[in-house]
Amino acid sequence: MPARDNMCFVIAIDGPAAAGKGTVAKTVSNHFGFAYLDTGLLYRAVAAKTLLGEDPVKAAERLDLETLNNSNLRSAEVANAASKVAGIPEVRAALFHFQKRFAQRPGGAVLDGRDIGTAICPDADLKLFVTAASEVRAKRRFEELRENGAFIDYEKVLTDLKARDARDMSRQDAPLVAANDAKIIDTSDLTIEQSNERAVKLTQMALDDLYQ
Ligand code: CDP
């Protein structure tokens, strides 16, 4: 079903690192014509500025959306720094309104991150929690980084990913946790197509519930 111009339909997709949130989110947004925001990029952009010596809170307050297109944001170094700046409450507060406004776009919106279903859009029409075993996620991230030309070994990717998940789950402010009403998609034994299919089906069911 194509998105209706005046509808406000929000899909919140959360989950740990490299679980496949982005792939599922892009597929759902393309399929239904919803706007898509990868909120991890906001934290990555702040982290990239911090690595260049900027104060994290100031970097978050002045975040220029052009920076979200920088190709270096997907590096392992930036990912690790992102989960550190993401633990600073003032950084999260500075990024809150942009995400909230994005979610209110007419025509529907998909946001993926760590706290979308719990803190940014607790009233989302559909919440998905996309997860997978850490070894599977590390293998996927390792292959992605290698394809992008990074010299990195699998063990280091696995250690970094576990450390990042632990930091994301244990922080005080908006920790990574599945919302009580989230539908879990465990992609450990699913192909990309199967994960996408599941998410599209759940979205269609949520739309049918709302509009029929
Ligand atoms: O792509 P991947 O799942 O590895 O990471 P990401 O979604 O780009 O997020 C990078 C980091 O930003 C995470 O490890 C979190 O610490 C932080 N983040 C967050 O705290 N809240 C969000 N809504 C999104 C990301």
- 164 C-alpha to center of ligand 1: Å? 9
- 96 C-alpha to center of ligand 1: Å? 14
Residue having the nearest C-alpha atom to atom 6 of ligand 1: 40
- 1 C-alpha to center of ligand 1: Å? 30
Mean pLDDT (the chain) is 94
Pocket of ligand 1 (CB under 6 A): 17-18, 39-40, 43-44, 79, 82-83, 86, 113-116, 164, 168
Burial of 51: CB neighbours in 10 Å, binned 0-12, 13-18, 19+: middle
Per domain, the residue ranges of the chain are 4-197
Indicate whether this model's pTM tops 0.85.
Answer: yes
DSSP 152: -
d(CA 30, CA 27): 5
Do residues 127 and 10 lie in contact, with contact meaning Cβ atoms separated by under 8 Å? no
pLDDT band (50, 70, 90) for residue 71: confident
Q: How many residues does the chain have?
A: 212
Residue having the nearest C-alpha atom to atom 7 of ligand 1: 40
Residue having the nearest C-alpha atom to atom 15 of ligand 1: 83
What angle, rounded to 10 degrees, do the helices at 89-103 and 40-51 form?
Answer: 140
* Per-residue model confidence as pLDDT tens digits over 111-130: 999 999 999 999 999 999 99
| Average of per-residue pLDDT across 188-209 | 97
Structure tokens at 62: 């002045």
The ligand 1 atom at the shortest distance from the C-alpha of residue 19 is 3
Would you state the pLDDT for residue 6?
A: 58
- 42 C-alpha to center of ligand 1: Å? 9
CA distances from 96 to 121, 133, 181 (A): 10, 29, 22
- What is the four-CA torsion angle of 184, 77, 54, 38, rounded to 10 degrees? -30
pLDDT band (50, 70, 90) for residue 4: low
| Average of per-residue pLDDT across 143-171 | 94
CA distances from 110 to 11, 120, 195 (A): 5, 12, 16
Maximum C-alpha span of the chain: 53
Give CATH for domain 4-197.
3.40.50.300
